[in-house]
């Protein structure tokens, strides 16, 4: 879809990444780590003025130098931060992840034995599935799902068992069919992959939903792999709750997370797994064998992100709420049916009521939108493996800048 969007000069609301920069503190932390190379020079770069860093320089001459030349003079002599580091993550980042988890969710994983830094949530999940499951194991996957869950399960020879979230058309959001989930768990499975806040529906699993999942896990000895990558993107008073904080759940919960979405840094590939120590050991082994480690200077910068004042997340939420409302209004005006997402940054929109595309298949509808309206989305059936529930949806990402979304709204109006 991204390829077609480029080809047709469409506003690309298909893939879930932003066109806005990461917070500057994060960028600066990465730049200073790469340039400084070790702690002492990093600290110097962060704490000093240019006058202190380039003593004796003629200010006029300095101003006329290319920035690259000035920066080259500031490069450290010794280097740790551009080199291999512990495969399972920089000590300071694992500690920051433990602090951050405690700060937001009131439980603290052991950074020495329970935290592994990965190449984003994607490699986190792959390392978990590769390390804790055996070929032939069943994994329960709620649909609609993020595409990587069934494809990674296939790579490891696992058997996905699908359960389907159901949209209530009275505005009640998306619900679990509890009988279906209980039946899937009763068949026996190694793990359940839960994503909350949820891509693509925007569902934020409630305390009641999580208590039900916890009960199933205890009853049927399931591991729960919870993908919390949109944890800070929640709306209308909804709150992300940590499953691992529930009584008795720590021993069977594996958290997968990353800075991709909350740090506006999807290309950095820094994420993590929090798992009980007995599972962390094989997860680290798998991770080390496949990729060695996440990039050292970007791990160092992630420490800064995780330590930022929570206001940053309040601002993120407020900005996304505005974007959600802008795109939701445009879609509704064009005839789409949309339940307001409680979290994450997607609108999973029913398109049957849109005259120009209502009679088409999801792929044909998405193609028509790209070619005729100039807006790229993802066909809804892409998020389902079984049944026809997905055939009435298109997914639109609202993580782009407001002007981009306003342009999309203008284009959608031509429908």
Residue whose CB is less far from ligand PLP, 85 or 195: 195
Closest residue to ligand PLP, based on beta-carbon distance: 120
Widest CA span in the chain: 76
The answer to whether 219 touches 187, Cβ cutoff 8 Å, is no
89 binds ligand PLP (CB under 6 A): no
Q: Which stretch binds ligand PLP (CB under 6 A): 114-122, 166-174, 284-292, 374-382?
A: 114-122
376 binds ligand PLP (CB under 6 A): no
347 binds ligand PLP (CB under 6 A): no
Q: Cis omega before residue 144 (within 30°)?
A: yes
Residue 255 buriedness (CB in 10 A; 0-12 / 13-18 / 19+): buried
Rg (CA), the chain: 23
From candidates 114, 167, 209, 227, binder to ligand PLP by CB under 6 A: 227
Gap between the Cα atoms of 325 and 313, Å rounded: 18
Residue whose CB is less far from ligand PLP, 42 or 121: 121
The answer to whether 174 touches 165, Cβ cutoff 8 Å, is yes
Residue whose CB is less far from ligand PLP, 16 or 374: 16
DSSP 345: S
Q: How far is the CB of 368 from ligand PLP (least distance, A)?
A: 24
Which 187-206 residues touch ligand PLP, going by CB under 6 A?
Answer: 195, 199
271 binds ligand PLP (CB under 6 A): yes
Q: Which stretch binds ligand PLP (CB under 6 A): 103-111, 118-126, 178-186, 361-369?
A: 118-126
Instruction: Show the site string, 151-190: x = touches ligand PLP by CB under 6 A, - = not.
Output: ----------------------------------------
121 binds ligand PLP (CB under 6 A): yes
Residue whose CB is less far from ligand PLP, 37 or 263: 263
Residue whose CB is less far from ligand PLP, 260 or 392: 260
Q: How far is the CB of 216 from ligand PLP (least distance, A)?
A: 21
222 binds ligand PLP (CB under 6 A): no
Among residues 174, 197, 172, 226, the alpha carbon closest in space to that of 313 is found at 197
Gap between the Cα atoms of 402 and 269, Å rounded: 25
The two beta strands, 378-379 and 393-397, are antiparallel
Residue 167 buriedness (CB in 10 A; 0-12 / 13-18 / 19+): buried
From candidates 1, 30, 141, 229, binder to ligand PLP by CB under 6 A: 229
Among residues 357, 359, 358, the alpha carbon closest in space to that of 367 is found at 357
Q: Which stretch binds ligand PLP (CB under 6 A): 38-46, 243-251, 258-266, 384-392?
A: 258-266
249 binds ligand PLP (CB under 6 A): no
Gap between the Cα atoms of 229 and 273, Å rounded: 11
Residue that has been written with the tokens 């950074």 in this structure: 111
18 binds ligand PLP (CB under 6 A): no
Gap between the Cα atoms of 409 and 350, Å rounded: 17
CB atoms within 10 A of CB 17: 18
Binding site for ligand PLP (CB under 6 A): 16, 120-122, 146, 195, 199, 227, 229, 258, 260, 266, 271
């Amino acid at each position: 879809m991204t390829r077609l969007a480029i080809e047709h000069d469409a506003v690309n609301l298909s893939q879930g990444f932003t066109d806005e920069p990461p917070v500057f503190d994060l960028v600066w932390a990465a730049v200073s780590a790469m340039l400084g190379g070790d702690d002492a020079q990093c600290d110097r770069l962060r704490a000093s003025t240019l006058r202190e860093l380039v003593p004796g320089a003629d200010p006029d001459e300095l101003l006329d130098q290319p920035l690259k030349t000035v920066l080259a003079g500031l490069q450290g002599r010794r280097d740790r931060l551009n080199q291999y580091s512990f495969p399972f993550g920089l000590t300071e980042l694992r500690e920051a992840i433990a602090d951050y988890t405690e700060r937001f969710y009131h439980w603290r994983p052991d950074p020495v034995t329970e935290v592994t830094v990965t190449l984003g949530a994607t490699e986190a999940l792959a390392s978990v599935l590769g390390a804790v499951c055996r070929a032939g194991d069943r994994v329960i996957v709620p649909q609609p799902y993020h595409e990587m869950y069934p494809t990674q399960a296939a790579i490891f020879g696992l058997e996905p068992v699908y359960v389907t979230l159901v949209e209530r058309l009275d505005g009640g959001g998306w619900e679990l069919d509890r009988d279906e989930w209980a039946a899937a768990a009763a068949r026996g499975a190694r793990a359940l992959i839960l994503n909350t806040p949820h891509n693509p529906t925007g569902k934020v699993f409630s305390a009641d939903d999580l208590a039900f999942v916890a009960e199933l896990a205890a009853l049927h000895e399931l591991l729960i792999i919870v993908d919390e990558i949109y944890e800070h993107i929640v709306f209308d008073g909804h709150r992300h709750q940590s499953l691992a904080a529930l009584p008795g759940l720590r021993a069977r919960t594996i958290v997968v997370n990353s800075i991709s979405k909350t740090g506006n840094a999807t290309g950095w590939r820094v994420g993590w797994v929090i798992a009980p120590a007995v599972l962390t050991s094989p997860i680290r082994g798998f991770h080390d064998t496949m990729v060695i480690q996440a990039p050292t200077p970007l791990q160092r910068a992630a420490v800064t992100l995780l330590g930022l004042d929570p206001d940053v997340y309040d601002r993120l939420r407020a900005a996304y709420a505005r974007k959600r409302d802008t795109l939701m209004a445009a879609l509704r005006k064009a005839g789409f049916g949309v339940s307001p997402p409680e979290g994450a940054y997607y609108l999973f929109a029913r398109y049957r009521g849109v005259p120009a595309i209502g009679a088409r298949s999801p792929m044909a509808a998405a193609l028509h939108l790209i070619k005729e309206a100039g807006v790229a989305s993802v066909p809804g059936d892409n998020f389902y493996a079984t049944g026809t529930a997905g055939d009435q949806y298109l997914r639109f990402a609202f993580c782009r800048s407001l002007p981009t979304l306003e342009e999309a709204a203008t284009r959608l109006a031509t429908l």
